[in-house]
Structure 1
Amino acid sequence: MSTHRPAARVVCLDAGNRVLLLHWSDPVGGNLVWEPPGGGVDDGESFLDAARRELAEETGLDPAAVQDRSVTVERDFRWRGKHYTGTEEFFLARFDEPGPALGRAGLMPDEQEALLGHAWLTPDELTDLPDLQPPHLAEIIRLLTTT
């Protein structure tokens, strides 16, 4: 049985056009995931507001950097023993410095344990990255930066 959870993610690009990915370890299944920051939309919250809130919580980066434009992405993944399917909104954020430092202060205790680290990667580095979610992230980045 699958679950759909409205969610928003943020494709963060630094001054060198490298993308920020968070590296997670699923506390239930143990599988590893590299993905852009983001998460579920709270009741009464817009996708844009959720993207900005999640960016601040998961990275400490300035939520005002999230632009009001998105791409709808089909997702199909497992996390914490649940199967999630459905669409998520992916937003773009740009930062003027190379690899801005992240903070973890906004993470919940279980997220603190599950987050292994992060990386700022070039689009070419995405092609060889195991456990990338969504697997076609390079195409999503292209859509966000050319539309």
Structure 2
Amino acid sequence: MPVRRTVKVLLLDQSDRLLLLRGDEYADGHPIWFPVGGGLEPGEDAVTAALREIEEETGSRDVTIGPEVWHRQQLYSWRGTRTDVHERWFVARTDRFTPSTQALTDEEQTYITGFRWWTADELIATTAEVFPPDLGTRFRALLRDGAPQTPIDISQR
């Protein structure tokens, strides 16, 4: 099974709202909300990948990458391919902005259909599908407790 190394970014505005992307990835058309992020390119370090993914998926360059807070490993199936995904999660800060879709790849444009800035309470209360499912609870704990000394494993086994 292929291994994919990825970064995920908890992109927060000045009011501690988290930017999530809306994806229409499923055949039945129901959406899922997920953080900015993607795969590392050959020779790329995680912080460089995080900045690149933020720019590609939102159009923003005015971002400060903060600490790595979580890591996660999961088996993931997407468009018929099963992959062992290894994620590194970073906090990043920015002023609130309106994301742009101009830098999305052709493939990303087929499934990224929106953006929203969420509070932790909104994420916890939503009935929409969010990736990962416990993101709201983890996000609230991160805001309350601050970044951990070392990244926490949030894999669901």
Structure-1-length-normalised TM-score: 0.83
Query: What is the CA RMSD across the aligned residues, in angstroms?
Result: 2.3
1:146 equivalent to 2:147? Answer yes
Quote the Cα distance in structure 2 between the aligned partners of 1:4 and 1:32: 25
Matched pairs, number: 144
TM-score by length of 2: 0.78
Distance of aligned partners of 1:75 and 1:143 in 2 relative to their CA distance in 1, 3 Å threshold = farther
Identity %, equivalent residues: 31
Q: Structure 1: 5+ residue runs without aligned partners?
A: none
Distance 1:44 1:29 in 2: 37
- What is the SS of the residue equivalent to 1:20? strand
Largest Rg, 1 or 2: 2
Post-superposition shift, 1:140?
Answer: 4.1
Q: How is 1:1-147 mapped onto 2 (pairs within 5 angstroms)?
A: 3-26=2-25, 30=29, 32-62=31-61, 64-95=63-94, 97=95, 99-127=96-124, 128-141=126-139, 142-143=141-142, 145-147=146-148
- Shift in CA distance, 74/29, structure 1 to aligned 2, threshold 3 Å: farther
Task: Tell whether the 8 Å contact from 1:71 to 1:143 is kept in structure 2 after alignment.
Answer: no
Hey, what's the Cα distance between the residues in 2 that align with 1:53 and 1:87? 18
Report the CA distance shift for 1:18/1:119 in structure 2 as closer, same or farther (over 3 A): same
Taking the aligned partners of 2:103 and 2:13, their CA distance within structure 1 comes to 21
